[in-house]
């Protein structure tokens, strides 16, 4: 399928220039059809309501199996959730904490995971320690190692960071943690379907994500991975604990089966265009072009990594003399370019999500707008 064909599957691409897949990705026609078919089955095929619950569970289980294969996990290690926050709640709430325990995070956590661990700090007297992010994975591993001590109770990081799209060396950090008996919890929101993720190979204990960003599934879907070993320790919040008894015990609500059928369709689409490896290669190729074109604009600073071992399709940049919020608003309001302002990393700027369905002409239009704004901000 060429790009023009791919784009016909995403009607949302017609509404301005959509460069915020890292915020909310666009669902394909197939995703929407799968959701409709799931609900129609209940409401229009006269299935008696008494059978709805088992039908919904069976159908969601089919999606769970597909998700597990896509993520390099066993089905029994995945719980369907409605959001990343849901997964974090299950892990943070299901473990025992003591005052003085330490949790290690990165300096670039999204407010959701950050506030979840801040809540724990407030309730349990746990301390947060931050690893300053760096584009060099070896530096990240070294900094993490230096911060660990015998009070470290958990490492709780983004797999790909939210503001600049940096790949955190998860496998090496999981290994460090395992050697010391420290469990790891990962936020996979920007990793899933942006970079290849194999949870069993990664060696983590817990991994939570939604499915509505780079995977392009529906809002209201997500998953929590709990490794076989971690299932012995994590207590479910709304069920009795069955050590090693499967991750479904961590599910907090009935799955909206039709939405998960949408997740299945999103996975099928990605597989049909070559899988995540092909997607990653294409996104990095286009994001490299964008970075080079931005470099040529006086006053523009590209903040995201350019290292092959830590870059993604996310391109974050700033304009000297212009606040990130103003840049975000100007791009949205004057050029209908949808992206997101960045506020965690200095200088503030905007985050551009280069997805497989992004057209190079859209990136060129962005660069033209940036040229105008950079001059208005007093550059060149
Ligand atoms: C890195 C990251 N973590 C967590 C979240 C929150 O995810 P959810 O809405 O699934 O709880 C987001 C959403 O923008 C995010 O970007």
DSSP 354-370: --TT--HHHHHHHHHHH
Long-range CB contacts for residues 31-36, cutoff 8 Å, separation at least 24: 31/216, 31/217, 31/218, 31/262, 31/265, 31/266, 31/269, 32/262, 33/265, 34/258, 34/261, 34/262, 34/264, 34/265, 35/218, 35/258, 35/259, 35/261, 35/262, 36/258
Ligand 1 centroid to Cα of residue 165, in Å, is 13
Assigned domain for 24 exists = no
Residue 245 lies in a domain: yes
Distance 208 CA to ligand 1 centre (A): 10
Look at the pTM and tell me if it is higher than 0.85: yes
Total structural domains within the chain: 2
Q: Could you tell me if the CB of 162 is within 6 A of ligand 1?
A: yes
b (16+ CB within 10 A) / e for 285-304: ebbbbbbebbeebebbebbb
CA-CA distance, 262 to 268, in Å (whole number)?
10
The pLDDT tens digits along the chain (380 residues) read 899 999 999 999 998 999 999 999 999 999 999 999 999 988 888 888 888 888 888 889 999 999 999 999 999 999 999 999 999 999 999 999 999 999 999 999 998 889 988 999 999 999 999 999 999 999 999 999 999 999 999 999 999 999 999 999 999 999 999 999 999 999 999 999 999 999 999 999 999 999 999 999 999 999 999 999 999 999 999 999 999 899 999 998 888 899 999 999 999 999 999 999 999 999 999 999 999 999 999 999 999 999 999 999 999 999 999 999 999 999 999 999 999 999 888 889 999 999 999 999 999 999 999 999 999 999 97
Asked which of 216, 245, 268 is the last residue of a domain, the reply is 268
CA 180 – CA 200 distance, rounded (Å): 19
The predicted pLDDT at position 55 comes to 87
208 lies in the same domain as 316: no
94, 75: one domain? yes
Task: Tell me the best of 157, 210, 222, 343 to mutate to test the pocket of ligand 1, counting ligand atoms within 8 Å of each CB and taking the most.
Answer: 210
Q: Candidates 87, 187, 219, 263: which one to mutate for ligand 1, based on the most atoms within 8 Å of Cβ?
A: 187
CATH number, domain of 178, equals: 3.40.640.10
What per-residue confidence (pLDDT) applies to 52?
A: 85
Residue 357 covered by a domain: yes
The pLDDT value given to residue 68: 98
Q: Are 369 and 312 in contact (CB under 8 A)?
A: no
Are 9 and 110 members of one domain?
A: no
247/300 same-domain check: no
Mutate to test the pocket of ligand 1, among 81, 112, 252 (most ligand atoms within 8 A of CB): 112
Q: Which of 253, 268, 283 is the last residue of a domain?
A: 268
Is the distance from the beta carbon of residue 113 to the nearest atom of ligand 1 less than 6 Å? yes
* Domain range for 165: 31-268
- For residue 380, is it within any domain? no
CA separation for the pair 147, 144 (Å, rounded): 5
First to last CA, the chain: 42
Q: Is the shortest distance between the CB of 194 and ligand 1 below 6 Å?
A: no
Same domain, 140 and 244: yes
CA distance 48 to 31: 25
The pLDDT value recorded for residue 104 is 97
CATH number at residue 310: 3.90.1150.10
Q: Which residues of 146-165 are buried (b: 16+ CB within 10 A; e: fewer)?
A: eebeeebbbbbbbbbbbbbb
Ligand 1 atom with the shortest distance to the CA of 88: 11
In a shared domain, residues 367 and 263: no
Do 124 and 230 fall into the same domain?
A: yes
Residue 301 CA, chain-centre distance (Å), reads: 25
> CB of 218 closer than 6 A to ligand 1?
no
């Amino acid at each position: 399928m060429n790009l023009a064909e791919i784009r016909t599957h995403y009607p949302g691409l017609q509404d301005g220039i959509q460069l915020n897949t890292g915020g909310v990705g666009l669902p394909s026609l197939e995703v929407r059809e799968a959701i409709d078919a799931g609900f129609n089955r209940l409401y229009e095929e006269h299935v008696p309501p008494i059978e709805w619950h088992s039908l919904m569970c069976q159908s969601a289980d089919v999606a769970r199996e597909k998700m597990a294969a896509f993520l390099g996990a066993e089905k029994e290690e995945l719980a369907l959730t409605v959001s990343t926050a849901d997964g974090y709640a299950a892990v943070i709430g299901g473990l025992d904490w003591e005052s003085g325990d330490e949790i290690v995070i990165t300096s670039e956590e999204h407010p959701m995971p950050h506030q979840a661990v801040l809540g724990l700090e407030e309730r349990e007297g746990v301390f947060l320690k931050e690893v300053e992010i760096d584009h060099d994975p070896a530096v990240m591993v070294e900094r993490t190692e230096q911060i660990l001590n015998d009070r470290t109770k958990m490492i709780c990081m983004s797999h790909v960071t939210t503001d600049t799209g940096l790949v955190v060396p998860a496998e090496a950090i999981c290994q460090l943690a395992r050697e010391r008996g420290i469990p790891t919890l990962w936020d996979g929101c920007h990793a899933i379907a942006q970079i290849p993720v194999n949870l069993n190979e990664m060696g983590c204990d817990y991994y939570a994500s939604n499915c509505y960003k780079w995977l392009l599934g529906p809002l209201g879907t997500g998953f929590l991975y709990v490794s076989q070993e971690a299932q012995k320790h994590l207590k479910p919040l709304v069920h009795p604990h069955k050590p090693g008894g499967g991750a479904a015990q961590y599910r907090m609500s009935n799955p909206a089966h039709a939405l998960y059928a949408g997740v299945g369709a999103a996975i099928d689409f990605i597989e049909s265009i070559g899988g995540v490896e092909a997607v990653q290669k294409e996104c990095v190729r286009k994001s490299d072009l964008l970075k080079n074109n931005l470099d040529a604009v006086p006053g523009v600073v590209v903040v995201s990594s350019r290292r092959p071992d830590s870059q993604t399709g996310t391109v974050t940049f700033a304009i000297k003399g212009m606040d990130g919020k103003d840049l975000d608003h100007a791009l949205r309001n004057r050029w209908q370019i949808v992206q997101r302002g960045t506020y965690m990393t200095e200088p503030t700027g905007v985050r551009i999500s280069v997805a497989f369905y992004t057209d190079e002409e859209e990136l060129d239009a962005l660069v033209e707008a940036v040229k105008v704004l950079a001059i208005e901000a007093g550059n060149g």
